[in-house]
Structure 1
């Protein structure tokens, strides 16, 4: 019966799709990042260090989930002139509401807020977004939006367009400080969900690279795929502010939210910020991103893509290439490139999710097609075990605060890898939103920061040397080279070998095998 209802809904959506269309004429008032912000509080605080490190950017990794949230809240609270926020997902949960309240309070202080969201995950949020947009200092734009706001299935006839999404993530205050990385906005990204936690990585950046983040934001904000919210929804409701305050009051009264906020306030990073002693690494860094027009033109338009830049940087490694990608579907071309690197003596290691840890089964099926081929060429594969919340949040000595990810919720029952980071020759590292899959390469837009940092790159490689083998299954060929095995090592020194993929029952295995033969790889 549920399947019948779904089919009827899809059929109805297709029938009415012709009735839903985006507005033909949209008034977009162009705007750019503010440049005269050296006199702001952030500018003054950073001035001595920027002067001491001319021409370089300061980078601070945000590996722990609560630190990543604290950094965003503190940046919103410190901003005096502008906040530019760009996200693929912004949930209306505890952390989402707290950040909305923080940017509203900033707007009340006179801060100009530009909020750019991909429209794929905004279902049900129109009243909240409209209320925010109604504030004279806040403007909301939706990237590549759905035309039908109440019945999104009505847009299925426009699937080829809506299948292209903006996956970028950045948070910039006063054009002085920016956060870039893999985290969206939602409880699972910031350690506020005890049931689901994503291991992830962002970097907090200051210096010249921040202006590059702002320039990237401006390109997307002023692009014709970014629609002012008012052009899609019409006049804002008069009681919008009341709705927002009611939501925020509920969060403040929620004991779970209170405990989370207390835990965030107790993070060492908060004290470090208050005492102005964040230990930035000063180095060269640059933003790499897709052109926003990528979503409107053929996936074959390489001049609009980030992928060739990443291939140029990381495909020429001489000694070592370490890849962390939660959604890893290399495709024939990617698998061939990794095989060629391994053939010329480059140590290639990949960490991705196991079936038990992934949140997208079709992606796992897409990845599984390439496992044996990659192993035969010498590529080393690791699959994160379910609940391995410490694999990327500790350094080699077992201390917290490592790279590339976080401990998710700090105790979640279902941890999943979400960090996207690559290191080459223990000298350069990329942190951003790009997955090694066809969707990131060809369909979605992505961004990240390429950092010349032996410290961060070596720390990631060090995790592969010492920590990851204990917290992830190592997949390798059995001695006869005809079958695979999964090695489960424990920090205590024990070892278990599986000759079939751990945690997958018969029906699940049949389902994965079925998905792997479907012609859907280009959408994964």
Structure 2
């Protein structure tokens, strides 16, 4: 039986360790740029439950991407600055129709560290069927290289047809590289398709491998690669909301209906920005090739093939800035007449919510199109918590009934658009590796408006009077999910 002295000694040491943990977390939180509410929550949980709070803070309190990635990313910044100096667009002042948007364009180029490009041909692919057909056709015509990165790659249906075309392309000498998120594509990484790729010599890499603790090079466990990008022969690019899944056979389709996505197909100068982003993503992974960083700023002559002016804005947990938060805020604040937003997950932070309300109060007509039911019940209820304020400000809220509307897009004043992978939630804005395009092109904006109108036709409009009379039980669910919304 331990003596009284040993018990007192042990208790004293335990108290000192707990005190040290609490003080270290408090000091770390004070020195790190956390929102006040988040900072207070971390201090409170660590004070009440020191060991549990300390472990939680190590796992989720900050956004470390790991020492290896951080080192390679610092190297990449120098190469991005080289790329930003490339003349991907004619020198001289902005065209007259863009001059009014020069501050928004300037912000986008600074946030993304990528140049404004003109002369790109952009085509909106408004359905998954059209997208898969175009991708397979371009893969079949590929001559030298195919690079792909996706959050979710799930075998089955159309994804298997893409896989078959990739194997054939590799057989004829095309270099194929595939980067997939370790969590989102976990089924693919264990699948026969992945084994077939690797056996054939196709390069497959995992982004952000899941680790609970990795003391030598700590990384946060829930940081995810959420981009969906394809670059073919360094001349053709795709990005948007579509994962490499068949929207009709994917597991979530059984509960919420088919996923409804849109992508863009690019040819011309803007493809080089997609290429640079992929090369960096590939190089900073543990099994990636860092020598690719040397080629990021090596840009061959690029013919101008279209009329679109585009700025690519990648974002991720690798700095203090949240580039796409700045882009979305400035996009909303610059609106004069109308805004249409489509997003599967509408759980905005206070800054975005306030920007939307401010735009509505100053007379901007806002149309918010979201799924009637998302694939997460918590997200669905948390989103509804925002509807009271939106409706009272005059925002038109439309609930899409044709499946899980997954397209992430904003059109403003029928003049420009923001399109890509970012959802209106904390995870996309603050944690994930994402990509958005700021697009100025009359034909594209016309096509996007038609797509938005087609979505609206399959929606039910939320009636304010009916909404305000909803049961208290629903309000309680909304409030509970709203409290955990920063985690969604």
Q: TM above 0.5, one fold? A: yes
In 2 relative to 1, CA 469–340 (structure 1 residues): closer, same or farther, beyond 3 Å?
same
Partner residue in 2 for 1:213: 274
Structure 2: segments with no counterpart, 5+ residues:
1-54, 60-64, 84-116, 290-304
| Separation (CA, whole Å) in 1 of partners of 2:450 and 2:170 | 43
Structure 1: segments with no counterpart, 5+ residues:
1-13, 36-53, 148-153, 231-279, 389-414, 486-498
**Residue 219 of structure 1: how far off its partner (Å):** 1.6
**Residue 462 of structure 1: how far off its partner (Å):** 5.3
Could you list the per-position Cα deviations for residues 283-329 of structure 1 after superposition, in whole angstroms to 9, with x for gaps in the alignment? 212222114xx1x56xxx11x53221232234211111111111111
Match runs of 1:14-93 below 5 Å: 55-93=118-156
User: Is 1:353 equivalent to 2:414 in the alignment?
Assistant: no
In 2 relative to 1, CA 190–310 (structure 1 residues): closer, same or farther, beyond 3 Å?
farther
| Separation (CA, whole Å) in 1 of partners of 2:414 and 2:395 | 17
Aligned residues: 368
**Residue 179 of structure 1: how far off its partner (Å):** 1.1
Paired residues of 2:213 and 2:219 also in contact (CA < 8 A): no
Partner residue in 2 for 1:286: 311
RMSD: 3.8
**Residue 214 of structure 1: how far off its partner (Å):** 0.4
In 2 relative to 1, CA 159–337 (structure 1 residues): closer, same or farther, beyond 3 Å?
farther
**Residue 155 of structure 1: how far off its partner (Å):** 6.8
Partner residue in 2 for 1:473: 460
Q: Secondary structure at the match of 2:427?
A: helix
| Separation (CA, whole Å) in 1 of partners of 2:169 and 2:379 | 39
Match runs of 1:194-343 below 5 Å: 196-223=257-284, 226-228=285-287, 282-291=307-316, 294=317, 301-302=320-321, 305-343=323-361
| Separation (CA, whole Å) in 1 of partners of 2:244 and 2:451 | 26
Could you list the per-position Cα deviations for residues 45-92 of structure 1 after superposition, in whole angstroms to 9, with x for gaps in the alignment? xxxxxxxxx950111111122111111111211111000101000002
User: Is 1:96 equivalent to 2:83 in the alignment?
Assistant: no
In 2 relative to 1, CA 144–370 (structure 1 residues): closer, same or farther, beyond 3 Å?
same
Partner residue in 2 for 1:456: 444
**Residue 460 of structure 1: how far off its partner (Å):** 4.0
Give the structure-1-normalised TM-score.
Answer: 0.62
Partner residue in 2 for 1:139: 203
In 2 relative to 1, CA 159–351 (structure 1 residues): closer, same or farther, beyond 3 Å?
farther
Could you list the per-position Cα deviations for residues 254-306 of structure 1 after superposition, in whole angstroms to 9, with x for gaps in the alignment? xxxxxxxxxxxxxxxxxxxxxxxxxx963212222114xx1x56xxx11x532
Paired residues of 2:66 and 2:219 also in contact (CA < 8 A): no
Paired residues of 2:139 and 2:232 also in contact (CA < 8 A): yes
Q: Secondary structure at the match of 1:227?
A: coil
Partner residue in 1 for 2:428: 440
| Separation (CA, whole Å) in 2 of partners of 1:344 and 1:521 | 27
| Separation (CA, whole Å) in 2 of partners of 1:159 and 1:360 | 29
More helix per residue: 2
| Separation (CA, whole Å) in 2 of partners of 1:99 and 1:500 | 46
| Separation (CA, whole Å) in 2 of partners of 1:79 and 1:190 | 28
Give the structure-2-normalised TM-score.
Answer: 0.67
User: Is 1:379 equivalent to 2:395 in the alignment?
Assistant: yes
Partner residue in 2 for 1:116: 179
